[in-house]
């Protein structure tokens, strides 16, 4: 060693491994406009597909006449359900065990439903041709309100299911009923309510909205008829699942289907499902023999490819007079639209909504979810949350505030009193989950101290007095949300998609010169996997992140994985990466032992290589070991240095956080201003703090949008209101609040690196924080619960209804 | 005039003169992406709301999804592809977005950087509020804007030769 020998710290820093705020490698191409998104891909001879859509929400389709459209120069084909029947693709299975029309088969069930698929030489001609396809409709009565869906005289929405008394998730009790899902102990919960000192009951709705990534859903299907091979480029959060589904539907062998998900312009759950556009493009390419591109426009995106939420929850809590909760009862009416296409693991018709006991130690609970059909778009995707977890978090966090109000207790104190205690972990919840780790009290106290919670309450009280005296027209709310997420789906014992267990995977290959290529079954849509996955590998095998290339999204090269959604990438693929890397390190240790002529047990791992115990000068770096692995491996050992790992997680992970929102509302305009938003997240081990912070900012902004105005509304005849960015609220830089972030670290005990996942926590925790702030502000005027979204018009109406406008 | 009648257009894009024939109804964004293969500008809404298609035209920020290519006849355009330094390194704004983590999925980024580019010409030393107002025609779904604001402040400082002070959280 001499002065030029790098210190341990210098060698560690050079790796840019876990915990480091590594700048993103993706940004070099993205900042130069050199990303490659689906619509950037051009193939020779490529043509364009586009849909004729229904103007009606519920109607019989009595005639489709494409004669005039086909006369237009440049129009190649017009596909209808009748054409798709020839290849048995007029209907497709959904992830939820239902079937869905690909193109209208005799009727339509929601506005803008796909009726015919026009294929033309370019986008403009396709658009012209759409206008020339004549479709005759016979209007039918429309159901928009899910509460009227199961009326005895409600119109039959799904004649294809007539007489089917059994659905994918048990008995159906009405022609518009999909499933009833029941969890928990009904009798014991009823007893808790009988014996309670205090109970509350409130209908808490979480309105319909949409993930709305800036890039819409799109694909290119290219059938090579000579080779019998199909290649699909697409905006797929789960490319391997798309390949399997495409194979099952098309009967093309799976090895002859190549799915490529290039750069994706945001997903947020929108790009998990399989949509008619994909199926029609594939069929059109098979029919025409040329590549077919389909790119939905924004209106199509907002009104047809999925939706989120639309959960109508009735929450009841039983408690002692000191605030100790003794029971929870929740009923949900879930509006699934015209087809049940919810993107949940197959056995979970309401996702993981049974996380609804939240962060609190409920001894008993009972949950029942009824799914119903209405004349709205299908979907039910997890919009930046694990499956139905944001609905559950909203439900319990509102309900706890309502209980606090009834008890006259401070809502922070009520939460502190009922939190699951650190010593109770692993904690078995009343509705069946085993929470892996947590320290809720510490997180909560840290935020309360930092923002000066008690002082804010005193200020609020003074403002309320001033308001009553007529000295101000502004009211102040403090919104608290303490959420527990459940992510990382998931263990094969209870999670699968169409029968494929929800493991994930990683493959790592170390090249002779010590650089690395690695591939995963996940697919980034902005999460920065190319940066962070390399950081995990760097720390595990001591090769600088800069020398590690991460590749995702090509099903030919990547090991099978279930994709990126539900904050599952880090909990599942992140674990697979660490374990694959450890396999490499184990082999490297044997090679190093051979090189240093010692027993492998005489070696210590040290940052970026192995050294002999008690003799740190005798060491071999990973770079040297990599060369040896190809040049002169130990006798009897296979050459090479690579590993694959498929990881079946033993449990979910349970990130949590404490979010506080301070808000001022002008009662005469309804305008709400977020004065302060403080978000503390505990996602276990932190891989890249810069990226975590960015994820939290983004998730909070989406939560802000959802709580404060973003909605997919329908009028009484099923017209979509709000299917453009004119009407659908996406906050700009002006409305978006300033975010303050913080953290605690409670590692997951069962995850190889202790990480829990974070991308969706801010949406899950953010929505209740905003809504609780609004509700908290109005509470002293006699309000108990105000439904979201809380836009200025609605808040003005609330103030008016409470009589404060005089 | 039929829908498919072709008209000549000439414009300077990223310093290069281009001449093409286009239909009158061809949108400028499609002209850039399909005819010129400049796929940096993106299409997010087709209604002038999201700004992913923003480029600079004759010194002004324009949204190319609601301009016809023929309206740009004779104009001078800069797209994201024309933003890197002549030696190929990242320009101050591009570097700022990377350093400050001002992007995630990258889809809004070309439009956002082009808007910021013109904004800094209009106002070389903007306050945070002026930046927020200045980019309010560009939507981002990933970042929550806070780091985009910092990225633009970083670039402004670099272009002005002053020190960039990252605001304390």
Q: Do the domain assignments include residue B45? A: yes
Q: Based on the fold, state whether residues B138 and B76 are members of the same structural domain.
A: no
**Same domain (yes/no): B98, B150:** yes
Q: Which of B81, B102, B135 is the last residue of a domain?
A: B81
Q: What is the 3-state secondary structure (H, E, C) of A316-334?
A: EEEECCCCCEEEEEEEEEE
CB atoms within 10 A of CB A787: 15
- Domain end (from B23, B56, B81): B81
Question: What's the Rg (C-alpha) of chain B?
Answer: 17
- Please state the domain count of chain B: 2
10 Å CB burial of residue A102 (0-12, 13-18, 19+) is: buried
A806: which 2 tokens? 């005089």
Q: Are residues B11 and B77 in the same domain?
A: yes
Q: What range defines the domain where residue B69 resides?
A: 6-81
Return the SS3 of A545: helix
Whole-number pLDDT of residue B169 = 46
Confidence of residue B1 (pLDDT cuts 50, 70, 90): low
Q: What pLDDT is recorded for position A2?
A: 64
pLDDT at residue B26 is higher than 90? yes
Q: Taking the domain A308-489+652-801, which CATH number applies? A: 3.30.365.10
* CATH H-level superfamily of A38-140+216-264+271-303: Aldehyde oxidase/xanthine dehydrogenase, a/b hammerhead (3.90.1170.50)
Residue B28, token pair as written in the block: 């400028």
Is residue A695 annotated as part of the catalytic site, yes or no?
Answer: no
Taking one residue from A and the other from B, the number of pairs with CB-CB distance under 8 angstroms is: 179
Residue B168, pLDDT > 70, answer no
* Beta-bridge partners for B22: B7
pLDDT recorded at residue A4: 78
From B38, B54, B81, the end of a domain falls on B81
Nearest to B144 among A39, A528, A739 (CB): A739
A418-437 burial string, b = 16+ CB within 10 Å, else e?
Answer: bbbeeeebebebbbebebbb
Considering the candidates A385, A395, A495, A683, report the single residue annotated as catalytic: A385
Using alpha carbons, list the distances in angstroms from residue B136 to A135, A255, B48, B50.
41, 47, 12, 9
The answer to whether residues B12 and B73 belong to one domain is yes
Task: Find the residue in A nearest to B113 (Cα).
Answer: A31
B86-91: long-range pairs with CB below 8 Å, 24+ = B90/A28, B90/A31, B90/A32, B91/B155
pLDDT of residue B37: 98
Q: Is residue B41 part of a domain?
A: yes
Radius of gyration of chain A (CA): 28
| Same fold for the pair A38-140+216-264+271-303 and A308-489+652-801 | no
Instruction: Tell whether B87 is covered by a domain.
Output: no
Instruction: Please tell me which residue in A218, A237, A535, A611 is annotated as part of the active site.
Output: A237
Structural fold of domain A8-35+504-647: Aldehyde Oxidoreductase; domain 4 (3.30.365)
A694: nearest CB among B46, B101, B141: B101
Residue A760 falls in the annotated catalytic set:
yes
pLDDT at A1: 52
Residue A708 to chain B, least CA–CA distance (Å): 15
pLDDT number for residue B167: 60
Residues B81-138: pLDDT tens digits?
A: 999 999 999 999 999 999 999 999 999 999 999 999 999 999 999 999 999 999 999 9
Name which of A20, A214, A293 to mutate to probe chain B: the one with the most chain B Cβ atoms within 10 A of its Cβ.
A214
Give the confidence band of B166 by pLDDT, cuts at 50, 70, 90.
confident
Q: CB distance A724–B47 less than 8 Å?
A: yes
Q: Which residues of chain A have pLDDT under 70?
A: 1-3
**Does the pLDDT at position B2 exceed 90?**
no
pLDDT in tens, A396-452: 999 999 999 999 999 999 999 999 999 999 999 999 999 999 999 999 999 999 999
Interface test with B, best of A26, A32, A736 (most B CBs within 10 A): A32
Q: What's the CATH number where B111 sits?
A: 1.10.150.120
Residue of B nearest to A738 (CA): B146
Is A385 a residue of the active site?
Answer: yes
């Amino acid at each position: 060693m001499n002065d030029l020998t790098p210190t341990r710290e210098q060698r560690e820093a050079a790796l840019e491994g876990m915990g480091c705020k590594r700048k993103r490698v993706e940004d070099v191409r993205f900042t130069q406009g050199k990303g490659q998104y689906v619509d950037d891909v051009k193939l020779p001879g490529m043509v364009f597909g586009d849909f004729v859509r229904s103007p009606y929400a519920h109607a019989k389709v009595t005639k489709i006449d494409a004669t005039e459209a086909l006369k237009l120069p440049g129009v190649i084909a017009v596909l209808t359900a009748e054409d798709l029947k020839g290849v048995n693709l007029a209907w497709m299975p959904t992830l939820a065990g239902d079937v869905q029309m690909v193109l209208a088969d005799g009727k339509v069930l929601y506005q803008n439903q796909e009726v015919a698929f026009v294929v033309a030489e370019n986008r403009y001609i396709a658009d012209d041709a759409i206008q020339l396809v004549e479709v005759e409709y016979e209007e039918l009565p429309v159901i928009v309100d899910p509460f009227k869906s199961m009326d005895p005289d409600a119109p039959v929405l799904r004649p294809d299911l007539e007489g089917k008394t059994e659905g994918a998730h048990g008995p159906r009790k009405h022609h518009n009923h999909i499933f009833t899902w029941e969890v928990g102990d009904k009798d014991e919960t009823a007893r808790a309510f009988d014996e309670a000192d205090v109970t509350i009951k409130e209908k808490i709705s979480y309105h319909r909205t949409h993930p709305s990534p800036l890039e819409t859903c799109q694909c290119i299907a290219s059938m090579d008829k000579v080779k019998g091979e199909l290649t699909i480029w697409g905006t797929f959060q789960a490319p391997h699942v798309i390949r399997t589904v495409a194979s099952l539907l098309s009967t093309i062998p799976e090895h002859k289907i190549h799915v490529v998900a290039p750069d994706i312009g945001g997903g947020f759950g929108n790009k998990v499902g399989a949509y008619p556009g994909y199926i029609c493009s594939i069929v059109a390419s098979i029919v025409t023999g040329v590549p077919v591109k389909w790119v939905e426009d924004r209106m199509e995106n907002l009104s047809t490819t999925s939706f989120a939420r639309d959960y109508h929850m009735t929450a009841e809590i039983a408690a002692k007079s000191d605030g100790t909760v003794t029971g929870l009862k929740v009923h949900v009416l879930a509006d699934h639209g015209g087809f049940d296409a919810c993107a949940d693991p197959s056995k979970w018709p309401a996702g993981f909504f049974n996380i609804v006991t939240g962060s609190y130690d409920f001894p008993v609970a009972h949950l029942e979810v009824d799914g119903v059909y209405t004349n709205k778009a299908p979907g039910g995707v997890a919009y930046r949350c694990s499956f139905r977890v944001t609905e559950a978090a909203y439900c319990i966090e509102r309900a706890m505030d309502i209980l606090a109000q009834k008890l006259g207790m401070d809502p922070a104190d009520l939460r502190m009193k009922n939190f699951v205690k650190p010593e109770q972990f692993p904690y078995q919840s009343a509705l069946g989950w085993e929470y892996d780790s947590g320290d809720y009290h510490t997180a909560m106290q840290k935020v309360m101290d930092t923002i000066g919670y008690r002082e804010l309450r005193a200020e609020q009280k003074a403002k309320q007095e001033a308001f009553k005296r007529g000295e101000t027209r502004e009211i102040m709310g403090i919104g608290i949300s303490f959420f527990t997420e459940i992510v990382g789906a998931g263990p094969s014992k209870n999670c699968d998609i169409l029968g494929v267990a929800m493991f994930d995977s990683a493959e790592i290959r170390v090249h002779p010169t010590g650089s690395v290529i690695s591939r995963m079954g996940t697919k980034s849509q902005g999460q920065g996997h190319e940066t962070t996955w390399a950081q995990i590998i760097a720390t595990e095998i001591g090769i600088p992140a800069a020398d590690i290339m991460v590749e995702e999204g090509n099903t030919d090269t990547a090991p099978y994985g279930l994709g990126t959604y539900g904050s599952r990438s880090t909990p599942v693929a992140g674990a697979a990466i660490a374990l694959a890397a450890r396999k490499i390190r184990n082999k490297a240790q044997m090679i190093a032992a051979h090189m240093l002529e010692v027993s492998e047990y005489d070696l210590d791992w040290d940052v970026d290589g192995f050294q002999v115990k008690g003799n740190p000068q005798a060491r071999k770096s990973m770079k040297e070991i990599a060369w040896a692995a190809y040049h002169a491996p130990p006798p009897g050992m296979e050459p090479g240095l690579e590993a694959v790992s498929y990881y079946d997680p033993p449990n979910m992970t349970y990130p949590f956080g404490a979010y506080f929102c301070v808000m001022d509302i002008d009662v005469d305009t309804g305008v709400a201003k977020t004065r302060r938003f403080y978000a503390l997240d505990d996602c276990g081990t932190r891989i890249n703090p810069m990226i975590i912070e960015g994820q939290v900012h983004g998730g909070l902004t989406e939560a802000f949008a959802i709580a404060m105005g973003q909605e997919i509304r329908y009028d009484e005849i099923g017209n979509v209101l709000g299917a453009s960015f004119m009407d659908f609220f996406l906050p700009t830089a002006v409305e978006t609040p300033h975010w303050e972030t913080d953290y605690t670290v409670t590692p997951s005990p069962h995850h190889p690196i202790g990480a829990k996942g974070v991308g969706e926590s801010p949406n899950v925790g953010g929505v209740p924080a905003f809504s609780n702030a609004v509700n908290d502000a109005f509470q002293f005027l006699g309000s108990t619960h105000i439904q979201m979204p809380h836009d200025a018009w609605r808040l003005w109406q609330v103030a008016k209804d409470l009589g404060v406008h005089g | 005039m039929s829908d498919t009648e072709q008209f000549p257009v000439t414009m300077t894009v990223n310093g290069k003169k281009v001449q093409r024939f286009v239909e009158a109804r061809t949108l400028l964004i499609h002209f850039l992406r399909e005819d010129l293969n400049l796929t940096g500008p993106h299409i997010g809404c087709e209604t002038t709301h999201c700004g992913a298609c923003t480029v600079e035209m004759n010194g002004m920020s324009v949204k190319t999804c609601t301009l016809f290519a023929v309206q740009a006849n004779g104009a001078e355009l800069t797209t994201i592809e024309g933003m890197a330094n002549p030696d190929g390194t990242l320009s101050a704004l591009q570097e700022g977005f990377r350093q400050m983590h001002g992007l995630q999925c990258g889809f809004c980024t070309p439009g956002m950087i082009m808007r910021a580019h013109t904004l800094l010409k209009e106002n070389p030393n903007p306050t945070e509020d002026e930046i927020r107002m200045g980019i309010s025609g560009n939507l981002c779904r990933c970042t929550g804007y806070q780091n985009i604001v910092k990225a633009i402040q970083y670039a402004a400082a670099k272009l002005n030769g002053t020190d960039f002070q990252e605001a304390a959280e």
